[in-house]
Structure 1
Amino acid sequence: MNSAQSSEHQLLPLEEQLVGVNAKTGLYPGARSWSGGRRRILGKGPLESYCYHVMSRTCGGEVFFDEVEKEALRRVIWRMAEFCGIKVVTYCLMGNHFHLLAEVPHRESWLQRFEGPLGEAKLLEHLRILYSKTYVGLLRDELSDLRQRGLETLAQQKVEALKKRFCELSLFVKEVKERFSRWFNKRRGRRGTLWMDRFKSVLVEGKGEALRTMAAYIDLNPVRAGLVKDPKDYRWCGYAEALGGSRRAQRGLCKAIGKPVDGWQSAGAAEAYRGILYAEGREVKDAQNEKVVKRGVSVEAARAVLAESGKLSPAELVRLRVRYFSDGAILGSKAFVEGIFEAQREQFSPKRKRGARRIMESDHSLYALRQLKVKPVG
């Protein structure tokens, strides 16, 4: 990307820069089938799910992502995870590579949602996560036409081909990388391969110390790289997203440390995980205790966090929440936010009854209008 292109992109609101990432699409070429190449070690047994640490790097590590591109990759990962039935435990998007801790559910159990008389209708509705209304409508018409012509077997084969895309780690990562690459290359005006070889994956026991350790390793990447001193301050990782109020990120980390799925606040998962990060992430010095040989959090910082039992102040929690607001968000008292909401009423769905949403982390009466997608309020 040349300097003129870069300046032009920076002038656009975030959502406009990400329009291609957010758009629903037709079926991408090559997405109909997938042959896996060299074999991976995959969980195949009676367990309900298996967890994997996935890592992929750009070609030669020479292509680096800016902040908008990291945000685009974050959105692609979450969207493809929802579509494929994959659960994100945590993640970290670095300048030239990404880490992802993913839980792949037991495929047959997950697919039961598409069984029964309404199963196919539910499947077609599920496709709307990724594909346009037009594409899904054409697919529905194609299946209907095949059946009218007595070709039920062919119609069922098409349905089964769609189901093969779910709960498959290789397919999930392949589509994440392909979809992001198309958007990235268009944005940068570049051609060719973006990612180095195939992704690396490690099978991780889905509970206990192994999962906790791997989650902490991933969220500590920006600290080890010297980008931040505290993992909460690196926006593109699962821990920071969880502190920003994301339920899906919170649930993933609750899984990592063995807490109830919605126990981020109620079961003390936030404090417990912060304690784990600071215990696992301490810097390592040489034998003379002078030179740092492995970057991490300082001993003093670790002691301070552990002394507070991993708790963050209400003011700090609000700051972490606010930085995730989209363009056009509004912050203030309940009366102020409601006033802006009523003045801009036509930009919201009729189903929305109120504008002000209380920020639960605040120890004062602080409210926000989380999203205003049409135009930012100046």
Structure 2
Amino acid sequence: SAKLSYQVIDYVFMDNHFHLLIKIPPTSNMDDVELLNRYRLYKGNEEIEFLNSDQKDDFREKIHDISFVVGNFEQRFVQWFNREHQSWGRLFGQRFDSEMIEVSAQSDSLLRVMAYISLNPVRAGIVIDPKDFFFCGYADRLAGGSIGNSDHEFFDLFCRGIEAEGVRDKQKHFREVFRAYMLGLRRYKNADSKTVKEYLLTKTNTHPEALPWDDLFIHKCRFFTKCLVIGSEAFVREKLAKFSGKMKWKRIHEPYTEDEWNDIYSLKPRRRGAPSG
């Protein structure tokens, strides 16, 4: 992240896949001095300069591009993996899926996605409580790692009515609210599935705090991994209108469909051969 322009909000690394929740700041947030510093880090040369304004603009766009950011991460991960295991060749089977997430006080889309990410090892039966899974942002967040640096901003969005003093206090309260949000969700999608809180109670005899949040959540995987935009209906329609001319497939031009789940909407491409209407 010192070379490119992004911030990891949440993550989980599983045996055969991973999820990253990444924030890309506006290109206008970075001044020319910071841009040059990142360029020198990227090139490994403390004295290099931009040749012209076009090169500078191209680099600015590149380090703010989600495809370049994730591609850079995957490439470096494969290099590390092959070196550690004395192997070679590709590791990832296909291109990553990406979605745009609404972040606003009017929608809990961000909380839902964070909970989906954090509960991956619980659904897989690896741990009982997501805090016990080492390779995830939730455990990192509870440990005070850099993954939670923006939690005070999320407090301002999602913790209305709670009083807090200072950044650290806001971060602490947001993590409590987020845990309560997760615990109120069902572990699996079937109607008779226990909530995560109930599951924890039966397994550990502990009494975690929980809030009565929406429980129809877990295992709605395609909603989060196979769509283009996630948010309220107004947010999805706004992005569809803004980017509809750019959302094209290389091989086939397919219509887009809206998928509603309670008050959260997604925008995703219709599969080939899917029925219309």
**Which of these two proteins has the greater Rg computed from alpha carbons?**
1
Which residue is equivalent to 2:5?
85
Give the TM-score, by structure 1 length. 0.46
Alpha-carbon distance in structure 1 between the residues aligned to 2:77 and 2:64: 20
Q: How far is the alpha carbon of 1:87 from its aligned partner?
A: 2.0
Alpha-carbon distance in structure 2 between the residues aligned to 1:262 and 1:271: 14
Name the aligned partner's letter for residue 24 of structure 2.
Answer: V
User: Which residue of 74, 81, 100 corresponds with 2:20?
Assistant: 100
Q: 1:280 to 1:272 in 2, by over 3 A?
A: same
Q: How far is the alpha carbon of 1:123 from its aligned partner?
A: 2.8
Q: How far is the alpha carbon of 1:249 from its aligned partner?
A: 1.6
Q: How far is the alpha carbon of 1:274 from its aligned partner?
A: 0.9
Which residue is equivalent to 1:277?
182
1:180 and 2:77 correspond: yes
1:110 and 2:29 correspond: yes
CA RMSD of aligned residues (A): 3.1
5+ residue gaps, structure 2, are 160-165, 213-277
Name the aligned partner's letter for residue 100 of structure 1.
Answer: L
Paired residues, what number?
Answer: 199
CA contact (8 A) 1:84 1:168 kept: no
1:234 and 2:133 correspond: yes
Which residue is equivalent to 1:151?
none
Task: Specify the SS of the correspondent of 2:11.
Answer: strand
CA contact (8 A) 1:211 1:256 kept: no
Which residue is equivalent to 2:86?
189
Q: Deviations over 1:43-79 (max 9, x none)?
A: xxxxxxxxxxxxxxxxxxxxxxxxxxxxxxxxxxxx3
Q: 1:266 to 1:204 in 2, by over 3 A?
A: closer
1:167 and 2:64 correspond: yes
Which residue is equivalent to 2:173?
268
CA contact (8 A) 1:219 1:239 kept: yes
Which residue is equivalent to 1:136?
46
Alpha-carbon distance in structure 1 between the residues aligned to 2:187 and 2:176: 17
Alpha-carbon distance in structure 2 between the residues aligned to 1:307 and 1:168: 38
Q: Deviations over 1:101-139 (max 9, x none)?
A: 1122222x223x22xxxx3xx43323455553xx233x2
Name the aligned partner's letter for residue 242 of structure 1.
Answer: R
Alpha-carbon distance in structure 1 between the residues aligned to 2:196 and 2:129: 7
Q: 1:285 to 1:270 in 2, by over 3 A?
A: same
Identity value in percent: 28
Q: How far is the alpha carbon of 1:211 from its aligned partner?
A: 0.9
Q: 1:84 to 1:268 in 2, by over 3 A?
A: same
Alpha-carbon distance in structure 2 between the residues aligned to 1:268 and 1:298: 19
5+ residue gaps, structure 1, are 1-78, 144-153, 310-378
